[in-house]
Structure 1
Amino acid sequence: MKIVHVEAIPFAIPYAKPLRFASGEVHTADHVLVRVHTDEGLVGTAEAPPRPYTYGETQASIVAVIDTLFAPRLLGLSALEREVAHERLDRTVGNPTAKAAVDMALWDILGQAAGMPVSGLLGGYTDRMRVSHMVGFAPAGQMVAEAERVRDTYGVTTFKVKVGRRPYTDDVDACRALREALGPGAELYIDGNRGWTAAESARALREMTDLGLLFAEELCPADDVLGRRWLVERCPVPFIADESATSAAEVTREILGGSANAVSVKTARTGFTASQRVLHHCEGLGVPVVMGNQIDGQIGTVCSVAFGAAHRSSARYAGELSNFLGMSDDLLTEPLTIEDGTLRVRTGAGLGIGIDPDKLARYRQDR
């Protein structure tokens, strides 16, 4: 299973409904399809979603780093030599989603070669995950209408509410309206994308103490070290580290430093190999994990649910697996379907990703 070719294909698919949050907004899924080819004809597939406002990557930079640096270092390696591959990729600083996509494509090859689903290779805990839906910035009435539509259509009862606006009272009002509309049976948690100060976060949390929030995520900047520790000490619910905890080392820093007590795992930025290290590290530290979303399309969501369903600790809470619903189209030959609030792992060998060639031809940006 020698690697003979690595493709990085830019594509762009508009969102039917843009997602707005404190650190930016997304109108188009300008992602990169990554395919790793072997001499035995096996092809591993994944996608890299650039998030320039979070990690500094763009669609062009992902294509460039894979074509000019990663691909030459991978050619000739066996797909089994994942540690060697990571050693070579890590010679280049940063570029997390590009590295993650290569890693997941290699796992896809291993699953195909073994005739097993990747989720089974990773752990095989369950065959599905409960779905959490992200509700972006909008007037409170529109946020409620979206949540009710997703609940009634797909059976989803867990909602991650984007907050971080100023004044923070807009977000408090929206969360209160969501709780009143969805009732006590719905799970609600908030994500500030670092938009508030520690003081604003504390005031907002005090005003929402009666809403029964499940988590609070990245309400204030990670580099506000003292303010963040002060906030976490006062936070009435587990405080999730997301952008501040992208590796096992950063998890150690955030948890032992008192800056968080839960962690978001995103396969789009850490692949399967590094995500598993983060997950096991969190288990050792005794902190909960949530499967996060990098505003993934359906390809990325296939990867997230494969990983999340593979482990007990990552399957405990609903995973953020529904953002593809806002896209106007996708590349899969067999689209994903959320039923009864859950998303199933793809069956068959590997990740089960089939790319529609006509759709790829329509949306790719390099031809």
Structure 2
Amino acid sequence: MKITKVEAIPFSIPYTRPLAFASGEVHVAEHVLVRVHGEDGVVGHAEAPPRPFTYGETQGGIRAVIDTIFAPQIVGLDVLDREKIHARLDRTVGNPCAKGALDIAIWDVVGKVLGRPVTSLLGGYTDRMRVSHMVGFDDPDRTVALAQRIHETYGITTFKIKVGRRPIARDVAVCRALRAHFGDAVDLYIDGNRGWSAAEAARALRAMDDLDLLMAEELNPADDVLGRRWLVGRTAIPFFADESVSRPAEAARALLDGSATAISIKTARTGFTGSQRVLFLCEALGVDTYIGNQIDGQVGTMASLVFGAAYKGTAERAGELSNFLDMSDDLLAEPLRIEGGELRVRDLPGTGVVIDEDKLSRYRTDR
């Protein structure tokens, strides 16, 4: 099955509330729908969510690199020639979300051609995942009210708390309020998006030592090399690297030099193929992983679910699969539904993504 055409379609959907974190704030999902066309009319889909304050990619940049560089290099190749495809993509540095979306869309084509769900082609461990929801960067009362609504409506029992503000007491107060409200009925972990220094992060962790946090993620910058090692060496809970490990080699470096003890896997930036490499590296080293979220819409969330459910190591933790709840609409013909705190993989060939063409026409911005 040869690749006959590649499309990069920009679309824009507002969020129902601003999503704020230490490295920026997002009001509108300005993403790219990537379509890889094969022979006989088979089409694979994926979502590329640019994060300019994290990886330097923009919506326009993703479109440009796919249209002018990547598409001409892979059109005409067989979808099963994945190593050849990646060798060509990797001649261009950076652009992780553009590459990740192309990889996922190609896997979607492969699954449809073979008539199998991609989850089963990757590993087939389970057909569902528990869901974690992101809260924080607000006052304690509003954060508790939001978490309670999410808990009651969707049955979610794991919450990621965005931290990284100054003074650190504001974020400590939010974490304390959540633990006081829920007791041990929920799991809590924190994500600083590199907002604190190593010393500030150490103070914050000491102040929350009695809250039984699952883990901490990217509390201070990874390029603060000595500070990061110092902090991780004094942290009693798993310290996950996330945006600092956009490639498998970066994950290996973070683990081996002591600047992280565990790794967040995001299919939006490493696709399925790169995510496999990160996961297998971590399994070989005995390192924990979990499925993170790039503030994906439902198309991207489906990809994260498909990959996470495929492997024991990623399926055992709650994955970050609910940020689409903050979007005012989406592109899937059948919306995702979180029930009992879980999302289920759809028993369809490929990734299970079916696009609502009317919604795509409404939200695309290139016409």
The TM-score, its normalising length taken from structure 2, stands at 0.99
1:220-245 deviations in whole A, cap 9, x for unaligned?
Answer: 00000101111001111000001112
1:99 lines up with 2:99 in the alignment: yes
Deviation at 1:202, TM superposition (A): 0.4
Deviation at 1:246, TM superposition (A): 2.0
Q: Are the counterparts in 2 of residues 19 and 136 from structure 1 also a CA contact under 8 Å?
A: no
1:138-164 deviations in whole A, cap 9, x for unaligned?
Answer: 111111111101000000000000000
Report what 1:327 is aligned to: 327
1:49 lines up with 2:49 in the alignment: yes
Looking at structure 2, the residues matched to 346 and 95 of structure 1 have their Cα atoms a distance apart, in angstroms, of: 29
RMSD between superposed Cα atoms in Å? 0.6
Report what 1:89 is aligned to: 89
Looking at structure 2, the residues matched to 16 and 236 of structure 1 have their Cα atoms a distance apart, in angstroms, of: 36
Moved beyond 2 Å, runs of 4+:
none
Q: Which residues of 2 match residues 10-159 of structure 1 at below 5 A?
A: 10-159=10-159
Q: How many aligned residue pairs are there?
A: 367
SS for the counterpart of 1:240 is: strand
SS for the counterpart of 2:108 is: helix
Deviation at 1:362, TM superposition (A): 0.6
Looking at structure 2, the residues matched to 260 and 196 of structure 1 have their Cα atoms a distance apart, in angstroms, of: 16
Looking at structure 1, the residues matched to 8 and 318 of structure 2 have their Cα atoms a distance apart, in angstroms, of: 31
Q: Give the counterpart letter for 1:94 in structure 2.
A: G
The TM-score, its normalising length taken from structure 1, stands at 0.99
Looking at structure 1, the residues matched to 251 and 13 of structure 2 have their Cα atoms a distance apart, in angstroms, of: 33
Report what 1:184 is aligned to: 184
1:171-215 deviations in whole A, cap 9, x for unaligned?
Answer: 000000011111112100000000000000000000101000000
Report what 1:270 is aligned to: 270
Looking at structure 2, the residues matched to 48 and 248 of structure 1 have their Cα atoms a distance apart, in angstroms, of: 19
Looking at structure 1, the residues matched to 246 and 32 of structure 2 have their Cα atoms a distance apart, in angstroms, of: 20
Deviation at 1:342, TM superposition (A): 0.4
SS for the counterpart of 2:54 is: coil
Structure 1 portions without partners, runs of 5+: none
Structure 2 portions without partners, runs of 5+: none
Looking at structure 2, the residues matched to 10 and 106 of structure 1 have their Cα atoms a distance apart, in angstroms, of: 19
Q: Give the counterpart letter for 2:350 in structure 1.
A: G
1:106-161 deviations in whole A, cap 9, x for unaligned?
Answer: 00011001111000100000000000001131111111111101000000000000
1:42-100 deviations in whole A, cap 9, x for unaligned?
Answer: 10000100000000000000000000001101111011111111111111110000000
Q: Give the counterpart letter for 1:142 in structure 2.
A: R
Looking at structure 1, the residues matched to 245 and 98 of structure 2 have their Cα atoms a distance apart, in angstroms, of: 18
Looking at structure 2, the residues matched to 200 and 63 of structure 1 have their Cα atoms a distance apart, in angstroms, of: 39
Q: Give the counterpart letter for 1:260 in structure 2.
A: A
1:312-346 deviations in whole A, cap 9, x for unaligned?
Answer: 00111100000000000001000000000000012
SS for the counterpart of 1:313 is: helix
1:239-274 deviations in whole A, cap 9, x for unaligned?
Answer: 000111222211221111111101000000000000
1:239 lines up with 2:254 in the alignment: no
Q: Are the counterparts in 1 of residues 217 and 242 from structure 2 also a CA contact under 8 Å?
A: yes
Q: Are the counterparts in 2 of residues 161 and 191 from structure 1 also a CA contact under 8 Å?
A: yes
Looking at structure 1, the residues matched to 73 and 182 of structure 2 have their Cα atoms a distance apart, in angstroms, of: 51
Q: Are the counterparts in 1 of residues 136 and 174 from structure 2 also a CA contact under 8 Å?
A: no
Looking at structure 1, the residues matched to 136 and 173 of structure 2 have their Cα atoms a distance apart, in angstroms, of: 14
Report what 2:296 is aligned to: 296
Report what 2:161 is aligned to: 161
Q: Give the counterpart letter for 1:4 in structure 2.
A: T
1:280-314 deviations in whole A, cap 9, x for unaligned?
Answer: 00001111001000000000000000000000001
